[in-house]
Amino acid sequence: MDLNLIVGGPQGGGIETAGMLAVRALAMHGLEVFADREYHSNIKGKHSYSHIRASYRPINSIKYPVDFVGALDIETIATHYKDLGPGGVLIHDASLLDKPLTKLPPMEKKRLERLKAELEREKIGNTVKELDEWLEKNGRTVLPFPFLGMITEKAKLASPMIEKAMNTAMTTALLRGAGMPLDTILEAIDSLFMEKAEARELNRAVAAAVSDGFDEIAGTKGIGKKGTVGKGPARGKRMLVAGNDAVAIGKLIGGLRLQTYYPITPAADESFVIEQHSNLFGPEGEIVGSPIVIQAEDEISAICMAIGGALTGARAATCTSGPGFSLMVEGIGWAGINEVPVVITYYQRGGPSTGLPTRHSQSDLLFAINSGHGEFQRIVLASGSHEETLDDAVKCMDYAERYQVPVIHLLDKGIANCVTTINPPTLRRIDRGKRILKGVLEYRRFAFDSDPVSPRAFLGEELMWYTGDEHDESGHISEDPENRRRMYEKRMSKMEKILKEAPDGDKAVLFGDDNFEDLLVTWGVTTGAAVDALPELQAAGSKLAVLQVRMIEPFPVDIVSKYVSKAKRVIGLEANYIGQLAELIGWKTGVKVKNRILKYTGRLITQDEVVSAYMRIKGGEERVVLTGGE
């Protein structure tokens, strides 16, 4: 079973709530879920939607075409009618039937021009009713629901109250269309509105009314009876998280004591989650303290506060996106020269400048590993799934203190805002790194030794000096060339130590048979689409594997070289223009990644796009640019 549905409407019209209700219901039904939330950067009015996928097997991507589209407004109908596959179902309010399709003030001019051309080319007509008829002729099913009258009659609710819950009405119709029982939908409503009794009762009444009238409208077309979504297998406890949630949970498990941030999309939600939790737990489940969360006046202050906290011995982190990271760069350089263990969670979004503030991108990889003037060692770890993201949030803090370097946890908007089901995490012991021995006569913070990681004392424990200048072992400013050489090599030699000690699974992961001919190389959330497409491509006869590169800096040359050098054809798969990972592989390994599959529209790479693009590469194309999604 592989169910794909879209629910959309005007931003500010409860679309996020509608999506979360559907996701919760599907998860409570025992299914694996992956949902992408697409929204504009304005506050209200523009088209927003959730693309939700559910299956009995683990999934980490979305896929087209879809089985259901639930439209709360005409723009959703006009935008997504082409996304319906054969046998797909469109559900909308019956009051829209006589409305024109092309009088849509919120729609951008160029998009509206494309819509008019599409309608004219297909000879569809200009009203919703004419589009419905065209869809029915082309193997789709349309269900126009008289939501207002139906709910008024069956639930005895007034119109203003119904308007508040129209998103629930639409979601109920979608889920009932997929064959889900009302009891599960009501259970999801109870969970979603757990602390809002009045809203809970209103939405329960609306859902019950729509479900009660569903068979009268949909029954004659067989919708809701065929292709029933059966209950998934028992899986034990599961968590439903967005990537922001996963990072926040991981940081709390990892002993975070100080989180600083300046609000920016899509990073800020992480700090909001941490603010909601007042307790930190030890490995035995005991309460060991509380995190402090500070909203700074800007990103420069945020990184500097986090650095200050780290110097005192607090596990400290900050979070940001591209524009904010740009402002943090000088502070990160200061952390680099002073070997400060600070974590920066970096969520990529569409750039440059403000760019596409609410859209997806993987265009900051090279910036993350090269940001800052001069040379200093850092760790850049890129997560590819929500479960990995949670685990890596703990590892990043461990790595920071173990090697006394700034650590950049490189994520993307796809991870941040997509919602999925994961296994609950386990508590674990944390690694505070190399500490000083008590009773040291003369403490030298940057002591030269065979180990480039010097014993660390927290501020207040010993006498020490920190400066942005080059310094000697004690921290005093020094321009002596011999000291400069030794101190420079001390910091940079951490690269070999990290690569030697880090587990291979933190560096790169191979999916598929080791006896491959073609190799798809990817990273971040795009890994999910590649791995989900792998069985389909292998079943079609392709000897293909997927290599996910996780540690971007220091770059794991040995393990990546081992795989790319044995492939007959290496294909880069990324959400940026030049193929930044592919460029990095060429630079570090000498293997030129000739073939590339790229997407830079701000939308996720989907499973079906990976399949079709790979077949085009096999057909002789070198560079395939993907454009799917709205």
pLDDT of residue 366: 98
Local structure of 258: helix, strand or coil: strand
In the prediction, which pLDDT does 225 show?
59
Write down the pLDDT at residue 475: 97
pLDDT at 228: 64
Query: In the structure, what pLDDT confidence band is assigned to residue 42 with cuts at 50, 70 and 90?
Result: confident
Give residue-wise pLDDT tens across range 210-260: 999 888 888 777 786 545 688 888 778 899 999 999 999 999 999 999 999
Q: Can you read off the two tokens belonging to residue 141? A: 């099913």
CA torsion sign, 418 to 7 to 168 to 213? negative
137-171 pLDDT tens trace: 999 999 999 999 999 988 888 888 888 899 999 99
pLDDT category at 623 given cuts 50, 70, 90 is very high
* Domains of the chain and CATH, by start: 2-221 (3.40.920.10), 240-422 (3.40.50.970), 434-502 (no CATH), 505-626 (3.40.50.920)
Taking residues 317-336, report their average pLDDT.
98
pLDDT band at 331 (very low <50, low <70, confident <90, very high): very high
Give the tens place of pLDDT for each residue, 387-435: 999 999 999 999 999 999 999 999 999 999 999 999 999 888 899 999 9
Backbone angles phi, psi at 156, to 5 degrees: 55, 40
Beta-carbon contacts of residue 283 (< 8 Å; ≥ 6 apart): 427, 428, 429
- The residue type found at 104 is L
Mean pLDDT score of the chain, rounded to an integer? Answer: 95
| 256-284 pLDDT tens trace | 999 999 999 999 999 999 998 877 777 77
- The candidate with the shortest Cα–Cα distance to 52, out of 24, 94, 76, is 24
- Amino acid identity of residue 247, one-letter, is V
CB atoms within 10 A of CB 435: 13
Percent of the chain scoring above 70 in pLDDT = 99
Return the bridge partners of 574, or none.
598
**DSSP codes, 71-126:** ESSHHHHHHHGGGEEEEEEEEEEGGGTTSBSS--TTS-HHHHHHHHHHHHHTT--S
* Lowest mean pLDDT, pick from 285-289, 551-555, 601-605: 285-289
Global confidence as pTM: 0.96
Look up tokens 């979601």; give the residue.
171
Give per-residue pLDDT as tens, 496-519: 999 999 999 999 999 999 999 999
**Residues 6 or more apart whose Cβ sits within 8 Å of residue 318:** 259, 260, 261, 299, 302, 303, 305, 306, 328, 342, 343, 344, 345
